């Protein structure tokens, strides 16, 4: 598939996705779809960095900021999420720059970068838990129900509206992914991930390019957190922030496929369906089982299928687009210590 | 065009480059030779911004560039190749060069970058096909790619670091001619660091010899080759044995 054929496939696929909630209204299934779309967007945001070997375990932090800042501004200051979400994104972006700049300037790469970002996740989680007077701590937090304009409060009761919002946000993520993929910045980032000195010798401002993609990734992840909060109307530190959420992003992106645009989406479908079927099949007896399965699968995938499920399938279908395997092994290997 | 004064680089207690001054004029090819560890690559790394000098000044086209970041120096018109080729294997050959064309020329336009890539690839004799993979290139091909990347940044001054290591004699001559063509056709000034003396002497306008981080001789190739100090540190000891070993290796390989 190339050019027009691919565009047509995307068009038909999208039309089906948009039409879906109008013909199929089962609320439970729509709920699962909304969750898949929101998490797909978060995983796609993570993979924007991850695909270039910038393995961040700090994205739980960005997501938590997106969710909590939006909700806190609404509850305490009555600020509409339409303003709160941009503010939360700016906060996450600022944090990304504060942590990213020294890392990139002083060349903290590979495992050390992973460790720094891991600390970031932990810190955000601790801050949310520790300021329990405002955030509700580990018991969770609920945005106040809007009394007036639902649109202004970004609170909707019907699943169809949320499905369409989630679809739009997800699509936005995919479009940004493709935009980066086609830009010169992708060349620069691929080059940086292989050899920073050689990239600099080609004229690339290594620190600036890494900061830009980190900023973009953090902004998008914060948006995912905010949308998740508005949809669920209930957040806890553990569901939107912390190391577990960060690891979940790494896992889903790697299982789905880091190097293809729909890979993280595929990863979200697998992880959420797995968690749901365990929950339905075994109930409370299986709490935490999904994490066990994730861990085992992650090890298996990194060793045997580093391009992820979708990436490997697409590779089979069109052998001409080859990306040397060794480098991908390297990129995903960095994620190992967390597994 | 380039004026270097009192350049010093220390790594802890070790002085890699000690008070070296030289100048390069517009349009010339300056050869830079010296035994291993004499400071050639350190000088290159300071000129290209990879290392900041401990002291001394580097004036390029009248502006001080000592200590600037590598990407800034490239955008001012100094391109470099690496001693050991450093291709980006995740990109195609064309993308490697287009990347340098884009970022090395101040990130103006993608079209301009791709034109520069096509020009540079044609200049060094690599295919301009957009899908060719780096994995298909041998030692000579990788050196050409390295050169094409540097050329795509539209340098006024090219720092060529030991471009000929690992090539056979025909390839060496070809590469030497290429450097000369680059100077003649694109009017790019060149500083060339090279171990293989014969080829270098044939192409360069002037030679500068380093030993233990200090400049010990400078001048026309013929004069430098006859300088007793040069013969002592370079030709007298190392070169004979090295050349003999190289000849022996070639005989066996050709076997």
DSSP per residue, A156-191: -SSHHHHHHHHHHHHHHHHHHHHHHHHSHHHHHHHH
Same domain for B70 and B185, yes or no, is: yes
B49, B82, B98 ranked by CB distance to A187: nearest: B98
In this predicted model, what pLDDT tens digit does every residue of A181-211 receive, in sequence order? Answer: 999 999 999 999 999 999 999 999 999 999 9
Q: What is the pTM of this model?
A: 0.87
Give me the CATH number covering residue B167. 3.40.50.300
Domain finish residue from B104, B126, B154: B154
Residue B47 domain flag: yes
Domain finish residue from B111, B126, B154: B154
Give the distance from residue A260's alpha carbon to the nearest chain B alpha carbon, in angstroms: 15
Could B100 and A184 be called an inter-chain contact, meaning their C-beta atoms sit closer than 8 Å?
Answer: no
Same domain for B182 and B131, yes or no, is: no
Same domain for B177 and B93, yes or no, is: no
Residue B195 domain flag: yes
Backbone angles phi, psi at A65, to 5 degrees: -60, -45
Query: Can you tell me the ipTM of this complex?
Result: 0.84
Same domain for B40 and B134, yes or no, is: no
Range of the domain at B160: 28-52+65-77+156-255
Residue A88 in tokens: 């939360």
For residues B8-23, give the mean pLDDT.
93
Q: How many CB atoms lie within 10 A of CB A296?
A: 11
Same domain for B249 and B223, yes or no, is: yes
Amino acid A155: pLDDT = 93
Give the distance from residue A1's alpha carbon to the nearest chain B alpha carbon, in angstroms: 17
For residues B105-117, give the mean pLDDT.
89
Which of A187, A191, A203, A326 to mutate to probe the B interface, most B CBs <10 Å?
Answer: A203
Give the residue on A whose Cα is nearest the Cα of B148.
Answer: A202
Give the distance from residue A145's alpha carbon to the nearest chain B alpha carbon, in angstroms: 49
Which of B94, B99, B104 to mutate to probe the A interface, most A CBs <10 Å?
Answer: B99
Q: To the nearest whole number, what is the mean pLDDT of chain A?
A: 89
Give the residue on B whose Cα is nearest the Cα of A192.
Answer: B88
Name the more confident of A331 and A283: A283
- The total domain count for chain B is 2
Indicate whether A325 pLDDT > 50.
Answer: no
Which of A2, A105, A201 to mutate to probe the B interface, most B CBs <10 Å?
Answer: A201
Asked whether the beta carbons of A250 and A21 are under 8 A apart, the reply is: no
Could A194 and B133 be called an inter-chain contact, meaning their C-beta atoms sit closer than 8 Å?
Answer: no
Closest of B197, B206, B187 to residue B242, by C-alpha: B197
Residue B133 domain flag: yes
Same domain for B132 and B98, yes or no, is: yes
Residue B82 domain flag: no
Domain finish residue from B126, B154, B182: B154
Indicate whether A45 pLDDT > 90.
Answer: yes
Asked whether the beta carbons of A143 and A228 are under 8 A apart, the reply is: no
Same domain for B187 and B241, yes or no, is: yes
Residue B122 domain flag: yes
Same domain for B69 and B175, yes or no, is: yes
Residue B2 domain flag: no
Could B102 and A327 be called an inter-chain contact, meaning their C-beta atoms sit closer than 8 Å?
Answer: no
Same domain for B69 and B38, yes or no, is: yes
Closest of A151, A156, A163 to residue A80, by C-alpha: A151
Band of the pLDDT at B44, cuts 50, 70, 90? very high
Same domain for B70 and B167, yes or no, is: yes
Amino acid B151: pLDDT = 95
Indicate whether A33 pLDDT > 50.
Answer: yes
Same domain for B70 and B175, yes or no, is: yes
Indicate whether B154 pLDDT > 60.
Answer: yes
Same domain for B196 and B236, yes or no, is: yes
Domains of chain A (ranges, CATH numbers)? 27-338 (1.10.3470)
Residue B1 domain flag: no
Residue B13 domain flag: no
Indicate whether B138 pLDDT > 90.
Answer: no
Proportion of chain B above pLDDT 70, given as a percent: 90
Q: What CA–CA distance (Å, rounded) separates A119 from A127?
A: 12
């Amino acid at each position: 598939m190339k050019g027009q054929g691919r565009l047509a496939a995307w068009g038909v696929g999208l039309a089906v996705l948009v039409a879906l909630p109008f013909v199929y209204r089962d609320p439970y299934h729509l709920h699962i779809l909304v969750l898949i779309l929101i998490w797909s967007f978060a995983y796609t945001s993570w993979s924007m960095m991850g695909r270039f070997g910038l393995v961040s375990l700090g994205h739980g932090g960005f997501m938590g900021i997106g969710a909590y800042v939006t909700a806190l501004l609404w509850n305490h200051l009555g600020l509409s999420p339409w303003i709160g979400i941009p503010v939360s994104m700016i906060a996450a972006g600022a944090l990304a720059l504060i942590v990213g700049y020294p890392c990139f300037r002083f060349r903290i790469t590979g495992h050390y970068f992973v460790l720094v970002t891991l600390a970031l996740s932990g810190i955000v989680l601790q801050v949310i838990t520790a300021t329990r007077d405002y955030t509700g701590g580990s018991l969770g937090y609920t945005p106040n129900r809007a009394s007036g304009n639902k649109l202004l409060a970004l609170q909707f009761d019907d699943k169809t509206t949320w499905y369409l919002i989630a679809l739009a946000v997800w699509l936005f993520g995919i479009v940004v992914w493709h935009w980066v993929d086609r830009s010169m910045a992708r060349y620069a980032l691929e080059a940086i991930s292989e050899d920073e000195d050689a990239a600099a010798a080609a004229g690339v401002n290594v620190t600036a390019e890494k900061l830009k993609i980190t900023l973009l990734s953090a902004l998008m992840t914060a948006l995912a957190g905010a949308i998740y909060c508005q949809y669920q109307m209930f957040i806890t530190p553990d569901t939107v922030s912390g190391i577990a959420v960060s690891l979940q992003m790494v896992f889903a992106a790697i299982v789905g496929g880091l190097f293809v645009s729909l890979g993280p989406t595929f990863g979200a479908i697998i992880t959420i369906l797995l968690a749901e079927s365990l929950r339905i099949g075994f109930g409370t007896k299986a709490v935490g089982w999904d994490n066990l399965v994730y861990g085992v699968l992650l090890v298996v995938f990194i060793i045997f299928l580093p391009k992820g499920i979708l990436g490997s399938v697409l590779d089979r279908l069109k052998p001409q687009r080859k990306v040397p395997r060794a480098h991908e092994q390297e990129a995903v290997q960095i994620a190992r210590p967390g597994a | 065009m380039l004026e270097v004064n009192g350049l010093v680089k220390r790594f802890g207690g070790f002085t890699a480059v000690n008070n070296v001054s030289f100048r390069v004029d517009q349009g010339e090819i300056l050869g830079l030779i010296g035994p291993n560890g004499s400071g050639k690559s350190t000088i290159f790394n300071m000129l290209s911004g990879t290392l900041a000098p401990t002291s001394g000044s580097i004036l390029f086209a009248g502006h001080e560039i000592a200590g600037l970041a590598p990407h800034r120096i490239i955008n001012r018109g100094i391109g470099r190749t690496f001693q050991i080729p450093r291709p980006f294997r995740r990109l195609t050959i064309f993308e490697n060069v287009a990347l340098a064309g884009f970022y090395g020329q101040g990130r103006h336009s993608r079209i301009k970058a791709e034109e520069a890539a096509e020009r540079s690839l044609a200049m060094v004799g690599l295919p301009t096909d957009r899908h060719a993979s780096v994995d298909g290139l041998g030692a000579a091909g990788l050196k050409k790619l390295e050169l094409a990347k540097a050329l795509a940044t539209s340098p006024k001054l090219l720092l060529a670091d030991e471009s000929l290591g690992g090539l056979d004699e025909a390839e060496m001559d070809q590469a030497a001619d290429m450097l000369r063509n680059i100077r003649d056709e694109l009017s790019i000034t060149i500083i060339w660091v090279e171990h293989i003396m014969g080829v270098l002497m044939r192409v360069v306008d002037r030679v500068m010899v380093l030993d233990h981080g200090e400049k010990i001789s400078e001048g026309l190739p013929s004069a430098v080759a006859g300088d007793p100090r040069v013969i002592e540190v370079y030709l007298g000891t190392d070169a004979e044995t090295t050349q003999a070993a190289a000849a022996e290796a070639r005989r066996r390989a050709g076997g």
